[in-house]
Amino acid sequence: MALSSRNRVISTHLSFFREGVAYTSPSAGTCGREAKPGAADLGWISLGNPPEFSVTKDKTEIEIMKGIPGRRVRYDMIHTEEKLDLSFTIEEVRAEMVELLFGSLALTSSSTQFNPLEGSEKRAWLKVQQYDQSNTLINTVDLWVILSIDGEVASNNQLATFPVMAKTLHSTLNTGTL
Protein backbone atom coordinates (compact mmCIF):
# COMPACT_ATOMS: atom_id res chain seq x y z
CA MET A 1 0.00 0.00 0.00
CA ALA A 2 1.38 3.41 -0.90
CA LEU A 3 1.39 6.02 1.83
CA SER A 4 -0.33 9.30 1.12
CA SER A 5 -0.51 12.66 2.83
CA ARG A 6 -4.10 11.83 3.84
CA ASN A 7 -3.04 8.89 6.00
CA ARG A 8 -2.75 9.59 9.67
CA VAL A 9 -1.74 7.29 12.48
CA ILE A 10 -4.88 7.39 14.58
CA SER A 11 -4.20 4.40 16.80
CA THR A 12 -1.33 2.13 17.71
CA HIS A 13 -1.82 -1.42 18.94
CA LEU A 14 0.96 -3.23 20.79
CA SER A 15 1.64 -6.83 21.70
CA PHE A 16 4.71 -8.67 22.91
CA PHE A 17 6.12 -12.18 23.10
CA ARG A 18 8.44 -12.98 25.98
CA GLU A 19 11.98 -14.28 25.60
CA GLY A 20 12.26 -17.97 26.45
CA VAL A 21 8.60 -18.83 25.80
CA ALA A 22 7.84 -21.68 23.40
CA TYR A 23 5.90 -20.98 20.22
CA THR A 24 4.34 -23.16 17.54
CA SER A 25 3.98 -20.78 14.60
CA PRO A 26 5.44 -20.70 11.97
CA SER A 27 7.06 -23.86 13.42
CA ALA A 28 8.05 -24.98 16.90
CA GLY A 29 10.71 -22.90 18.62
CA THR A 30 11.63 -20.82 21.65
CA CYS A 31 11.38 -17.04 21.51
CA GLY A 32 14.71 -15.24 21.38
CA ARG A 33 16.76 -12.62 19.56
CA GLU A 34 17.00 -14.76 16.41
CA ALA A 35 13.81 -16.76 16.90
CA LYS A 36 10.59 -14.82 16.28
CA PRO A 37 7.14 -16.34 16.66
CA GLY A 38 4.65 -15.97 13.82
CA ALA A 39 1.91 -13.34 13.99
CA ALA A 40 -0.77 -16.03 14.42
CA ASP A 41 0.90 -17.67 17.45
CA LEU A 42 -1.30 -17.63 20.56
CA GLY A 43 1.59 -16.61 22.85
CA TRP A 44 1.44 -12.91 21.85
CA ILE A 45 0.25 -10.80 24.79
CA SER A 46 -1.75 -7.70 23.92
CA LEU A 47 -0.76 -4.43 25.57
CA GLY A 48 -3.78 -2.79 24.00
CA ASN A 49 -4.02 0.65 22.48
CA PRO A 50 -1.77 3.12 24.32
CA PRO A 51 -3.02 6.73 24.41
CA GLU A 52 0.56 7.94 23.97
CA PHE A 53 3.15 6.40 21.66
CA SER A 54 6.39 7.86 20.32
CA VAL A 55 9.53 6.72 18.52
CA THR A 56 12.94 8.31 19.02
CA LYS A 57 15.87 7.59 16.72
CA ASP A 58 19.25 8.72 18.02
CA LYS A 59 22.74 8.45 16.58
CA THR A 60 26.34 9.34 17.23
CA GLU A 61 27.89 11.29 14.39
CA ILE A 62 31.44 12.11 13.38
CA GLU A 63 31.84 15.15 11.17
CA ILE A 64 34.38 14.84 8.39
CA MET A 65 35.93 18.21 7.66
CA LYS A 66 37.70 19.10 4.43
CA GLY A 67 39.99 21.99 3.78
CA ILE A 68 39.11 24.46 1.07
CA PRO A 69 40.98 27.70 0.50
CA GLY A 70 40.58 29.86 3.58
CA ARG A 71 38.73 27.45 5.91
CA ARG A 72 37.61 23.91 6.69
CA VAL A 73 34.04 22.89 5.89
CA ARG A 74 31.88 19.92 6.73
CA TYR A 75 32.42 17.45 3.94
CA ASP A 76 30.67 14.32 5.19
CA MET A 77 29.07 12.64 8.21
CA ILE A 78 29.68 9.15 9.56
CA HIS A 79 27.14 7.55 11.88
CA THR A 80 28.92 5.26 14.31
CA GLU A 81 26.09 4.34 16.71
CA GLU A 82 22.32 4.23 16.29
CA LYS A 83 19.47 3.68 18.74
CA LEU A 84 15.72 3.33 18.32
CA ASP A 85 13.55 3.76 21.41
CA LEU A 86 9.77 3.47 21.66
CA SER A 87 7.89 5.14 24.50
CA PHE A 88 4.28 4.50 25.34
CA THR A 89 1.82 4.75 28.19
CA ILE A 90 -0.38 1.93 29.43
CA GLU A 91 -3.43 3.03 31.44
CA GLU A 92 -4.43 -0.37 32.71
CA VAL A 93 -3.21 -2.11 35.85
CA ARG A 94 -2.37 -5.51 34.45
CA ALA A 95 -0.02 -8.30 35.48
CA GLU A 96 2.60 -7.36 32.88
CA MET A 97 2.77 -3.77 34.14
CA VAL A 98 3.13 -4.91 37.77
CA GLU A 99 5.89 -7.28 36.58
CA LEU A 100 7.76 -4.42 34.87
CA LEU A 101 7.23 -2.00 37.74
CA PHE A 102 8.42 -4.34 40.49
CA GLY A 103 10.96 -6.37 38.49
CA SER A 104 9.34 -9.69 39.25
CA LEU A 105 9.44 -12.94 37.35
CA ALA A 106 6.78 -13.41 34.64
CA LEU A 107 3.23 -12.71 35.82
CA THR A 108 -0.11 -13.57 34.21
CA SER A 109 -3.70 -12.51 34.84
CA SER A 110 -4.05 -15.54 37.16
CA SER A 111 -0.96 -14.67 39.27
CA THR A 112 -1.70 -13.97 42.95
CA GLN A 113 1.81 -13.48 44.40
CA PHE A 114 5.15 -12.11 43.21
CA ASN A 115 8.62 -11.32 44.53
CA PRO A 116 9.92 -7.81 43.77
CA LEU A 117 13.32 -7.60 42.04
CA GLU A 118 13.46 -11.39 41.42
CA GLY A 119 13.16 -11.10 37.64
CA SER A 120 15.71 -10.14 35.08
CA GLU A 121 15.52 -7.68 32.24
CA LYS A 122 12.41 -8.17 30.13
CA ARG A 123 13.45 -9.00 26.59
CA ALA A 124 10.69 -9.67 24.10
CA TRP A 125 9.46 -9.28 20.58
CA LEU A 126 7.31 -6.16 20.36
CA LYS A 127 4.74 -5.93 17.58
CA VAL A 128 3.61 -2.40 16.70
CA GLN A 129 0.54 -2.06 14.46
CA GLN A 130 -0.58 1.42 13.42
CA TYR A 131 -3.95 2.25 11.85
CA ASP A 132 -5.31 5.24 9.99
CA GLN A 133 -8.67 7.01 10.33
CA SER A 134 -10.35 4.34 8.15
CA ASN A 135 -9.15 1.47 10.37
CA THR A 136 -6.66 0.50 7.68
CA LEU A 137 -3.42 -1.03 8.89
CA ILE A 138 -0.68 1.26 7.56
CA ASN A 139 2.42 0.08 9.42
CA THR A 140 3.55 -3.07 11.22
CA VAL A 141 6.92 -3.28 12.95
CA ASP A 142 8.41 -6.24 14.83
CA LEU A 143 11.34 -5.33 17.07
CA TRP A 144 13.50 -7.26 19.53
CA VAL A 145 13.42 -5.01 22.62
CA ILE A 146 14.15 -4.70 26.28
CA LEU A 147 11.11 -3.38 28.17
CA SER A 148 11.14 -1.26 31.32
CA ILE A 149 9.06 1.24 33.24
CA ASP A 150 10.41 4.67 32.36
CA GLY A 151 9.50 6.94 35.24
CA GLU A 152 7.25 7.20 38.23
CA VAL A 153 3.96 5.35 38.62
CA ALA A 154 1.88 7.27 41.13
CA SER A 155 -0.98 5.88 43.19
CA ASN A 156 -3.56 8.60 43.56
CA ASN A 157 -7.19 9.08 42.66
CA GLN A 158 -6.34 9.46 38.97
CA LEU A 159 -5.95 6.73 36.37
CA ALA A 160 -2.86 4.62 36.92
CA THR A 161 -0.46 5.29 34.08
CA PHE A 162 2.58 3.16 33.34
CA PRO A 163 5.23 4.93 31.22
CA VAL A 164 6.96 2.14 29.30
CA MET A 165 10.23 2.30 27.36
CA ALA A 166 11.07 -0.29 24.72
CA LYS A 167 14.72 -0.04 23.72
CA THR A 168 15.38 -1.78 20.41
CA LEU A 169 18.13 -4.39 20.44
CA HIS A 170 19.81 -5.73 17.31
CA SER A 171 18.26 -8.73 15.60
CA THR A 172 18.42 -9.78 11.99
CA LEU A 173 14.68 -10.45 12.32
CA ASN A 174 13.70 -6.84 13.18
CA THR A 175 11.34 -5.84 10.38
CA GLY A 176 8.72 -3.36 9.26
CA THR A 177 5.96 -3.53 6.66
CA LEU A 178 4.01 -0.67 5.10
14-35 confidence digits (pLDDT tens): 999 999 999 999 999 999 999 9
Please report the pLDDT score of residue 158 as a whole number. 78
Q: Where are the domains of the chain?
A: 11-58+86-177
Q: What is the signed CA dihedral for 114, 164, 146, 128, rounded to 10 degrees? A: 120
The vertex-153 CA angle with 147 and 159, nearest 5°, equals 110
Please report the pLDDT score of residue 9 as a whole number. 85
pLDDT in tens, 62-114: 999 999 999 999 999 999 999 999 999 999 889 999 999 999 999 988 999 99
Please report the pLDDT score of residue 159 as a whole number. 81
- Stated pTM of the model: 0.89
> How much is the average pLDDT of 35-54?
95
pLDDT in tens, 162-176: 999 999 999 999 999
